[in-house]
Structure 1
């Protein structure tokens, strides 16, 4: 048969189409680095100081690893153990080597990646499940599928960078024996890990999706975005932490993990520590989708919530950049972590080039070696950086923003910061601490949240995993600065109960920087008991610095015992009450966290106000609280029933009010003065308050008086407990004097 010119052209077109459908016409790299982006990066080398410095550092690191040779040991260890850390190091270095190959065009990096990938290919096809049995979803390279997913998220980027360096036969071998089985194992073979809404699943979804994008495997990409359709899991299945794996009617997959845990403005329900961890797969997979599957419009999904969440995460940090330890959280984690470097660069590049993000990037001191990192480095080079403004903010929780939230009140340049939690449970990493708070002066904790009980990646401490004390102490209500009723935790410490409820914002007002206030209610933590906590950050004459006014109103149908702890950091200076110290330490209780508290001192009030002063980081602090003559005052220290010393030995003061139905705790926390160990001078070491008084307390109104020592001025805060409408007019008579105002509260200065 004679072939015409048109027939030949048609056959060529069909061949091109078939090749395209089989994925062989894809340009690589196209996942994070792009072909055009690499050219731009090469053109700017030597002209973007932060990018150049990062490149030099990464090159030195990878060159050192190449010199050591490749090692892929048979897995056997928990987090922190040698095999765990070696495989973790491998995936980090593979990703960096891929970037270096593309930017520097040096074949030694591609060869290193190829050799290591084939070493893993030879190992993986016969690799059994990891020998450590602690996880609800055991991996193969690591003790849990979570870390296996980490590996694939990073290694998929390396594979993309050397895709065209490898032959078709080599790619087929890797995909058949390593990448496809790997993706199937962490997803289809472990649906209890993969098919849920949780930071674990986010990593799993991103891992399957990213290798799917490199391989041009539409089935894997669909599985990443939408989960496994028929996973065979029973409704109500749980993981090791007691969190639900499968909830009836809940969607799964990457898009569900974007939609469900984030509130509309970008607060992540598990808290900032786990938001930081999840931001890497969220943003790196989003960038990959943007580059390869722009039709998904991932950066526009849910009103661009992924991009907004990066700025929210930074706002959830103290003056030193360390994240507030809400829910499970290791203290000291900050926005300098590699995950936030990734998230910030991508958010800057794709989110409108916010110049305030550049100032955070300057603090981070490094950038991604890709298009987004180059954009950040060029912005800094060109002097576009502006200081990031961390102001007061109320962040809602829940997918629709209707499941409580976190209120942050800041005065000045973070001179004083209140973190007030009235949020949802926070999935399996949540704590039972409704209406709890912590207080900061700059980066100093005045009143602290404990955080988690875990030594991450330290093998000596439980293999680097969560310790049992995380459940018996850190999650329990008594571990937080909030009310405990009858020595039981909120919701009985039961996840299946707590996950159904959240506190409700009553009002939030930061319009006046001198008097900022937030109020929320909780009605489900203890059935039959309603708590309303109103907290005001106030700066006024007679006080050197801002102070915190805390009003905790409790209304119950029955008589109860109430404990209100304050966990302070520092050295006790003075009290205005007498207390006895036991000769032998005993645990305060036997359950719900009380078994971990030593009783170090027991006293009772001598006056209508109880005062405790302490010194921390060169500053004096005083807690003044209204007292009942029958109150018990107890100094406690964490560490009882802790034979392996897993808990910090932090101190607290607990106010116990027994045989009480309705009551209101009123407290003020001041920062004042300073002490220098060099000059040995003490300045303004005493409280500025002569007294605080609960003037009136009814169903409708609560009013509090604060009297200063310096000028005898009286400060009055009145809160309307029922009607919070801004246009509602109120009238109340206190001690024969009538007060009128509009709105949910009124702050008054009385001479």
Structure 2
């Protein structure tokens, strides 16, 4: 970053803060004022019975809260990790409190206000007696929960509940609650936990927003400034790390809510920790923005950084498969989707405070519920008027980094009617402490089914029986390591030697992206720092070619080093192996494939060598056939591996993979084609088009400036693809002779179907 850039950023933040202070008197500070307002509640009441989606959401919440009121209030002394009884009870308490507060405002029934008041008084009695949580695993322990993060969750929701019953409670009790509960709570998760609060991370976003939300309720300018701009002095040493090995503080780093809006998001709305944690952080980001918009409209928070918070919702929606499940990049649990409560609120808020994009309404319809505020009512009314239009997920290349210059994630889609093939290629920055060592990795989907998978995280979230619901040690020894991903590993050592501090300094670079032609969509990226003196260049092309049932995925991976090395390229498939064209041996007893960097977790189930110019390997999964055709060289090793070695607690899935190994070479080129074809029905017991149509994949040209690949079809046709690897200009003219034929073209690539 340049000095002028930093200066301008500081000036913007200072101006924003001044405007914040000046705007305090702009809005009459009545209650509720955060996500609900007096005017907003009146509008909601006027529309009750007119918006089915809101009405059904209201009835569902009412049923849930009424059941809890019958059970009574319980605020147990904390003792458990996530998933344990006391953890889950306190979590349910803050969720139910918030909902009860909303019900009081919308329905006017005092029983909900009484419930919230009694709950808050119970916590007011408990909180001053609490030491730090007895579980000592976290780098920042909470009091109600094992980590301060969950304490912040509690305060974000409890602030909304308090706001809704503020006038009902009365001045004397409010004074007690604020003095004994809310102010000490806000102080504890900020000045009492600077290693948690004063950083740029999803944890601190929750902490900043928690302090900011209660500050807005209590009209506390000091707390609000602390929330927006961080602690002025925190006493933290530069280089301090959290439990995941992530840096807590870097020299000169800005902190607070605004810094957390500035730094992790790219101009495209991609969040550097990945979609799983972006989803988690979207609730505090957007609910606080909504509260600021309602209380400090002159700040125009939704216009900050060119509307980055609204952009981030679109980025997230685009980072999903056909079922709405987020791609498990970095630490991500498979199955998390835009049906989560965080995305329900995000879609509602983005609709109301964005441009009222009617395509968002189709997502809300699928979600089947809305949040109980003006954003939710606006969505429900628009849905009732049948304004919803389809949200079309197109091929997209999302930049990473605050300035968009730290690599990115490309999502390339080919959709025909209800069938969609989706390629996800990741060439991002490290991704904070939740990042994996997976430069130039990819995953591939047939609709929502994984063809070639990313493992995701090694954790059973909120299942106490598995490591207290927290990250398992295998997340470090396996899931984060390079061998766990579909990318190149050199000398059985992870990228950057598996060292976060080294990896955090570098990002891959986009070489070329073009999705303008749906029949040939390309992402190409380079990585020069994962290994010393080694350059890697991966180009992936989703091809729609005559003669094939479905599009092909062409994968060209070039690696060049100053010295000979061993290179492994794994492909992690799901389902049942069908056929192969190479001989292999199966050992009588299993041994791990290696000793470290994740290799110790792979069983070596089979071993063979490429004996012909093409290696073919096919498998069946979820009713579809897939064939990998690789332009291997004589002597390339082929390893059949399965996850599960050195895993005594059975924490890892028993996934299978094929590894193509090239040894003792300073230059290696991997060329692979993945073909999706045919079907099998267990009902009719009929297999259709179960064999590959690819007869050969050949590297027809390679030098320092070009690489050419030919894909031959059983019908006699061939498809030629040539990439200019040294010049990515779209206007550059090229002339190249390949096997006696001269080809000329303009741009970074050339393709032709030869019949």
TM-score, normalised by the number of residues in structure 2? 0.96
Q: Please report how far the alpha carbon of residue 295 of structure 1 lies from its aligned counterpart in structure 2 after TM superposition.
A: 2.5
Q: Which residue of 2 aligns with 1:735?
A: 739
Deviations 1:590-644 (A, max 9, x none): 1000000001111111210001100001000000001111111001001100000
Q: Please report how far the alpha carbon of residue 226 of structure 1 lies from its aligned counterpart in structure 2 after TM superposition.
A: 0.3
Q: Please report how far the alpha carbon of residue 662 of structure 1 lies from its aligned counterpart in structure 2 after TM superposition.
A: 0.6
Q: Note if 1:590 corresponds to 2:590.
A: no
Q: Which residue of 1 aligns with 2:360?
A: 357
* Alpha carbons of structure 1 residues 633 and 121: separation in structure 2 relative to 1, 3 Å: same
Of residues 557, 561, 575 in structure 1, which corresponds to 2:566? 561
Of residues 670, 679, 682 in structure 2, which corresponds to 1:665? 670
The answer to whether the 8 Å contact 2:611/2:635 transfers is: no
Aligned-partner Cα distance in 2 for 1:551–1:540:
17
Deviations 1:153-189 (A, max 9, x none): 0000000000000111111110000000000000001
1:139-538 to 2 correspondences below 5 Å: 139-413=142-416, 415-538=420-543
The answer to whether the 8 Å contact 2:27/2:295 transfers is: no
Aligned-partner Cα distance in 2 for 1:700–1:23:
62
Aligned-partner Cα distance in 2 for 1:209–1:311:
25
Aligned-partner Cα distance in 2 for 1:554–1:106:
68
The answer to whether the 8 Å contact 1:692/1:704 transfers is: yes
The answer to whether the 8 Å contact 1:555/1:663 transfers is: yes
Q: Which residue of 1 aligns with 2:3?
A: none
Q: Please report how far the alpha carbon of residue 684 of structure 1 lies from its aligned counterpart in structure 2 after TM superposition.
A: 0.3
Aligned-partner Cα distance in 2 for 1:183–1:316:
34
The answer to whether the 8 Å contact 2:29/2:295 transfers is: no
Deviations 1:2-44 (A, max 9, x none): xxxxxxxxxxxxxxxxxx9999973100111010110111111
Aligned-partner Cα distance in 2 for 1:520–1:23:
49
Of residues 78, 82, 85 in structure 1, which corresponds to 2:85? 82
The answer to whether the 8 Å contact 1:41/1:374 transfers is: yes
List 4+ stretches of structure 1 deviating above 6 A.
Answer: 20-25
Partner-residue secondary structure (3-state), 2:138: coil
Q: Which residue of 1 aligns with 2:20?
A: none
Partner-residue secondary structure (3-state), 1:219: helix
TM-score, normalised by the number of residues in structure 1? 0.96
Partner-residue secondary structure (3-state), 2:745: strand
Partner-residue secondary structure (3-state), 1:554: strand
Q: Which residue of 1 aligns with 2:4?
A: none
Deviations 1:120-173 (A, max 9, x none): 000001211000000000000000000000000000000000000011111111
The answer to whether the 8 Å contact 1:23/1:216 transfers is: no
Q: Which residue of 1 aligns with 2:729?
A: 725
Q: Which residue of 1 aligns with 2:73?
A: 70
Q: Which residue of 1 aligns with 2:644?
A: 639
Deviations 1:538-577 (A, max 9, x none): 0011100011000001111000000000000110010011
The answer to whether the 8 Å contact 2:619/2:626 transfers is: yes
Aligned-partner Cα distance in 1 for 2:26–2:118:
24
Deviations 1:308-355 (A, max 9, x none): 110110000000100000000000000000000011100000001111
The answer to whether the 8 Å contact 1:605/1:628 transfers is: yes
Partner-residue secondary structure (3-state), 2:512: strand
Q: Please report how far the alpha carbon of residue 585 of structure 1 lies from its aligned counterpart in structure 2 after TM superposition.
A: 1.1
Decide which moves more: 174-183 or 626-635.
626-635
Q: Note if 1:715 corresponds to 2:727.
A: no
Q: Which residue of 1 aligns with 2:49?
A: 46
Aligned-partner Cα distance in 1 for 2:28–2:86:
38
Q: Which residue of 2 aligns with 1:13?
A: none
Q: Which residue of 1 aligns with 2:17?
A: none
Q: Please report how far the alpha carbon of residue 707 of structure 1 lies from its aligned counterpart in structure 2 after TM superposition.
A: 0.5
Decide which moves more: 285-294 or 62-71.
285-294
Aligned-partner Cα distance in 1 for 2:497–2:385:
56
Aligned-partner Cα distance in 2 for 1:334–1:443:
12
Q: Which residue of 2 aligns with 1:654?
A: 659
* Alpha carbons of structure 1 residues 63 and 301: separation in structure 2 relative to 1, 3 Å: same
Partner-residue secondary structure (3-state), 1:165: helix
Q: Which residue of 2 aligns with 1:747?
A: 751
* Alpha carbons of structure 1 residues 22 and 291: separation in structure 2 relative to 1, 3 Å: closer
Of residues 682, 699, 702 in structure 2, which corresponds to 1:697? 702
Aligned-partner Cα distance in 1 for 2:698–2:341:
49
Aligned-partner Cα distance in 2 for 1:600–1:442:
30
Q: Please report how far the alpha carbon of residue 297 of structure 1 lies from its aligned counterpart in structure 2 after TM superposition.
A: 1.6
Deviations 1:259-304 (A, max 9, x none): 1000011011111000000000000011001111223221011000
Aligned-partner Cα distance in 2 for 1:355–1:637:
46
Number of equivalenced pairs: 731
* Alpha carbons of structure 1 residues 702 and 170: separation in structure 2 relative to 1, 3 Å: same
Partner-residue secondary structure (3-state), 2:474: helix
Deviations 1:437-460 (A, max 9, x none): 000011010000000000000000
The answer to whether the 8 Å contact 1:716/1:750 transfers is: yes
Partner-residue secondary structure (3-state), 2:359: helix
Q: Which residue of 2 aligns with 1:10?
A: none
Q: Which residue of 2 aligns with 1:9?
A: none
* Alpha carbons of structure 1 residues 176 and 22: separation in structure 2 relative to 1, 3 Å: farther
Partner-residue secondary structure (3-state), 2:129: coil
Consecutive unaligned residues of structure 2, counting only runs of 5 or more, are 1-22
The answer to whether the 8 Å contact 1:23/1:215 transfers is: no
The answer to whether the 8 Å contact 2:512/2:524 transfers is: yes
Q: Please report how far the alpha carbon of residue 663 of structure 1 lies from its aligned counterpart in structure 2 after TM superposition.
A: 1.4
* Alpha carbons of structure 1 residues 362 and 568: separation in structure 2 relative to 1, 3 Å: same
Consecutive unaligned residues of structure 1, counting only runs of 5 or more, are 1-19
Partner-residue secondary structure (3-state), 2:573: coil
Q: Please report how far the alpha carbon of residue 483 of structure 1 lies from its aligned counterpart in structure 2 after TM superposition.
A: 0.1
Q: Which residue of 2 aligns with 1:15?
A: none
